[in-house]
């Protein structure tokens, strides 16, 4: 057998082992009250590997758009940076492993969702303040792009989004941010997901690939397809089970479960919201049923893994109105 074939067998065995361990676990959602930010949806939120904290920026509630920065370290702390991006909703945000900074891109200047002017500015967060970057090349203005850290290539990957209002959205292009060179590079993969916005993107530590799920098309058709980014190409996955079609679910990797976790989202353009919890083990999606209370259904929430509590952190989102609640998904005793 070739070395490549042997490697594939080993990876498959590891994925199966992780899946078996995950399915043996019982999980529980627990609401915590910790000086939460004001109720909002549509924020940028990601885990900062340098400060070991989840970072939240901006978001929207009703007609208000926010430009505040918060850090989660067992509870929420309001930050007071010397410089901040302008207020916005729907930016992309991810950790840049190459520089140890957070990266924020784009978003929209006004609420409600679907209005306003899309942006294409790039900002970095060093744990204390925001600094605007001026890359020689940037993606076009957009809101609701998919954005995540790829520690293998030490880049940040961006896919799609919407150019508001009207404009060119949804989009189906792929870009990578090089934090050392401080520039964006458009990638031209042979295969890629169809144009869409509001698709969560997360790094799967088990398979060492990015995972993208669902989203919404130009005609407000929701999707439930699953794709991997391997560093050079998008590869569609064909799991035997998957969450229903939806846009704007929250998604992040949970090391305790050895799986990517997806929560909630909206199955339509208006007025219905899921509160189901799913895990991706590298092969299939599996719905899991937490032991006790579930967060109310919502979309456009923030999610990141909290290493101190060894739990997934879920904040905010919207249904009939904005939420300002904080939840942890933990392994049940």
Write the CB contacts of 208 (distance below 8 Å, at least 6 apart in sequence): 152
Low-confidence spans in the chain with pLDDT less than 50? 1-24
Residue 62: its pLDDT value, please?
87
Fold of 3-331: Neuraminidase (2.120.10)
Q: What is the pLDDT of residue 16?
A: 39
Element (H, E) at 22: helix 3-23
Strand, coil or helix: 19: helix
Tell me the domain boundaries of the chain.
3-331
Q: What is the pLDDT of residue 110?
A: 82
* Residues facing residue 197 across a β-bridge: 216
**DSSP E strands, 53-208:** 53-61, 64-72, 76-78, 92-96, 101-108, 118-125, 130-133, 146-150, 155-161, 171-178, 183-187, 201-204
> CA 16, 281, 144 angle in degrees (round to 5)?
160
Which pLDDT tens digit goes with each residue over 203-230?
999 999 999 999 999 778 999 999 999 9
Given this model, what pLDDT does residue 3 score?
A: 40
Phi, psi (rounded to 5 degrees) for 268: -145, 175
């Amino acid at each position: 057998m070739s070395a490549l074939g042997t490697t594939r067998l080993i990876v498959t065995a590891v994925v199966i082992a992780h899946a078996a361990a995950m399915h043996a676990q019982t999980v529980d959602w627990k609401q915590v009250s910790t000086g939460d930010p004001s109720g909002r949806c549509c924020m940028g939120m990601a885990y900062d590997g340098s400060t070991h904290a989840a970072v939240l920026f901006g978001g929207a509630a009703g007609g208000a758009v926010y430009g505040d920065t918060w850090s989660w370290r067992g509870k929420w702390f309001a930050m007071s940076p010397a410089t901040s991006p302008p207020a916005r909703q729907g930016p992309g945000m991810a950790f840049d492993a190459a520089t140890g900074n957070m990266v924020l891109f784009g978003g929209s200047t006004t609420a409600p969702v679907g209005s306003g002017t899309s942006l294409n500015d790039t900002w970095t967060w060093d744990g204390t303040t925001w600094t605007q970057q001026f890359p020689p090349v940037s993606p076009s203005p957009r809101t609701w792009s998919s954005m995540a850290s790829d520690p293998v290539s030490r880049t940040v990957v961006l896919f799609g989004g919407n150019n508001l209002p009207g404009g060119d959205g949804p989009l189906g292009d792929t870009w990578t941010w090089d934090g050392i060179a401080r520039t964006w590079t458009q990638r031209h993969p042979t295969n890629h997901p169809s144009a869409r916005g509001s698709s969560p993107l997360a790094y799967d530590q088990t398979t060492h690939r990015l995972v993208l799920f669902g989203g919404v098309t130009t005609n407000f058709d929701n999707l439930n397809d699953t794709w991997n980014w391997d560093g050079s190409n998008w590869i569609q996955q064909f799991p035997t089970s998957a969450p229903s079609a939806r846009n704007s679910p929250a998604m992040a990797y949970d090391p305790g479960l050895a799986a990517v976790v997806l929560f909630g989202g909206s199955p339509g353009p208006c007025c219905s919201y899921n509160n189901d919890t799913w895990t991706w083990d590298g092969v299939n999606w599996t719905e899991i049923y937490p032991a006790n209370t579930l967060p109310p259904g919502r979309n456009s929430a923030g999610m990141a893994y909290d290493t101190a509590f060894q739990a997934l952190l879920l904040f905010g989102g919207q249904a009939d109105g904005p939420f300002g609640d904080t939840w942890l998904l933990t392994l049940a005793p």
